[in-house]
Amino acid sequence: MAVVTGASSGIGEAIARELAAAGMHLVVTARRADRLLALKSSLGVPCAVLAADIADPSTPTALLALALQTHGRADVLVNNAGRVVSGAFDRVDLDELAAMTRVNFDAVVRASYVFARHLKPQGSGAIVNVSSVGAYLSHSSMGVYGALKHALETFTTALRVELRGSGVRVGSIAPGSTDTEIYGALRERAAAAGVQMAPPLDAADIAAAVRFMLERPAHANVARLLLVSAAESA
């Protein structure tokens, strides 16, 4: 049974589809209820929907409660929801940067806290955090995004080590450019600046890798996976 955040589009939606194909029961969440309901109706497995802002501190608790209420258990948390706020640092909207911090980092910590407190006594489960190749790069105009993803990698490693031996596996996947709504906005910005971006990955490529991580035997933990397009310039 898996909870997937940011499942209304892109990588999160693809992860939900891939895990459903693997037979996992789901709770999917994001803000756009219509997209989540359409996803639910297209899956052949039991799936509950929570339309909510992941930055709301009460959302992770509500997600765990929904999983236990509808499926009777919770085994996997995929922290995928994220956004990109970019732009010249002396012009960028600081409130938007703070909002990105709440989604891309604070919410992941809070959700991991809520689920770790459930999974550790259960003695099994997994937390997968969707990071970014941006965690390892220094893209101008995307410094805060990259810093948050770097922080997410550091947090993931620390939590993995802390939960070692508990039966709870923790890992991260860092996608390169992937054809989603986030990427579409970046591609438009690059095109306006006369820059041609390399062909990206499909969201399904990332989803297949997440399934690979989760399907390793219990004694093997894919701690960190960097998956980029073969044409990636970074």
Ligand X SMILES: NC(=O)c1ccc[n+]([C@@H]2O[C@H](COP(=O)([O-])OP(=O)(O)OC[C@H]3O[C@@H](n4cnc5c(N)ncnc54)[C@H](OP(=O)(O)O)[C@@H]3O)[C@@H](O)[C@H]2O)c1
For ligand X, which is the closer residue by CB, 162 or 181? 181
- SS3 sequence of the chain: CEEEECCCCHHHHHHHHHHHHCCCCEEEEECCHHHHHHHHHHCCCCEEEEECCCCCCCHHHHHHHHHHHHHCCCCEEEECCCCCCCCCCCCCCHHHHHHHHHHHHHHHHHHHHHHHHHHHHHCCEEEEEECCHHHHCCCCCCHHHHHHHHHHHHHHHHHHHHCCCCCEEEEEEEECCECCHHHHHHHHHHHHCCCCCCCCECHHHHHHHHHHHHCCCCCCCCCEEEECCCCCCC
CB of 218 to ligand X, least distance (A): 26
CB of 72 to ligand X, least distance (A): 25
Catalytic hit among 113, 136, 145, 183: 145
CB of 165 to ligand X, least distance (A): 29
For ligand X, which is the closer residue by CB, 126 or 203? 203
CA distance 119 to 113: 10
For ligand X, which is the closer residue by CB, 81 or 126? 81
For ligand X, which is the closer residue by CB, 130 or 222? 130
CB of 82 to ligand X, least distance (A): 2
CB of 217 to ligand X, least distance (A): 27
For ligand X, which is the closer residue by CB, 10 or 171? 10
Q: Which residues bind ligand X (CB under 6 A)?
A: 6-12, 30-32, 53-55, 80-83, 103, 130, 132, 175, 177-178, 180-183
Residue 113 annotated as catalytic: no
CA angle 168, 175, 17 (to 5 degrees): 70
Catalytic center residues: 145
